[in-house]
Amino acid sequence: MKKIVLSLLVVSALMSVSCKKNGANESDSKIPTEAAISSEGAKYVASTTESVINWSGSKPAGKHSGTINLKDGEILVKDNKVVSGKFTINMNTITVTDLKSDDGKEDLEAHLKGTGDKEGQDHFFNIKKYPSGFFAITSIEEKEGKTIVYGNLTLKDVTKSVNFPANISVSDNEVTIDSDTLVLNRTYWNINYASRSLFDNLKDKFINDEIEIQVRVKATK
């Protein structure tokens, strides 16, 4: 069956002003400490049923897509603007949406989660060892008519700074964040399985390093 990579998590970035093409910085030298993230503002709690991470990954034989859900999250708002946020990504909820149950859906989900054979546990996300991912919003800026979200994405205990354009709506009772389609290089988070940039003997059996992510978060007081 066709096995493909996704990648998350919750939250991160292409076509941003100060990032590389793949939306993440290889250097972590500018990642702020927890203390540097704003803790002042009105708290909005993220809905785990109405927030979703949409993903897609590809290889020469085709592509697959699916979703991942949040475990929890919160957004802080001050003066009607989002000032920070933090989210836990539930890696156990990795779902493939383009396949049916009788067409390899469960096999691919198990491969991505690493819940199949022991040899494949660390091919992608190894959810037994890394059940959660994390994303923290550290700042938001307006640049050239776009709203740019800056933050840190953690997968498999690896944290990288990312930034991405998004549409943000704030009201008295609700905040929504809809990201542009983001492109991330999965190998920055040690998701290396069948990467052509890391292994030179794959021929046409490689999986593209770049994965596409689109995130929607809805939070309420």
Q: What is the largest distance, in Å, between two alpha-carbon atoms of the chain?
A: 56
Q: Single out the residue of 195, 212, 220 nearest to residue 65, CA to CA.
A: 212
Instruction: Please state the domain count of the chain.
Output: 1
Q: In whole angstroms, give the CA distance from residue 155 to residue 157.
A: 5
Confirm whether 107 is domain-assigned.
yes
Confirm whether 120 is domain-assigned.
yes
In sequence order, which residues have a C-beta less than 8 Å from that of residue 185 and are 6 or more positions away? 22, 23, 24, 209, 210
12-26, 156-170, 179-193, 200-214, range with the lowest pLDDT = 12-26
Domain that residue 120 falls in: 34-220
The average pLDDT across 10-19 equals 37
CATH number, domain at 90?
2.40.128.110
Handedness of CA 9, 180, 95, 75 (dihedral sign): positive
- Is the confidence at residue 138, as pLDDT, over 60? yes
According to the model, what pLDDT value does residue 38 have? Answer: 57
Confirm whether 19 is domain-assigned.
no
pLDDT digits 0-9 by tens, 31-63? 544 434 556 899 999 999 999 999 999 999 899
Q: In whole angstroms, give the CA distance from residue 106 to residue 116.
A: 10
Percent of the chain clearing pLDDT 70 (strictly above): 82
According to the model, what pLDDT value does residue 50 have? Answer: 98
pTM recorded for the entire structure? 0.84
According to the model, what pLDDT value does residue 24 have? Answer: 65
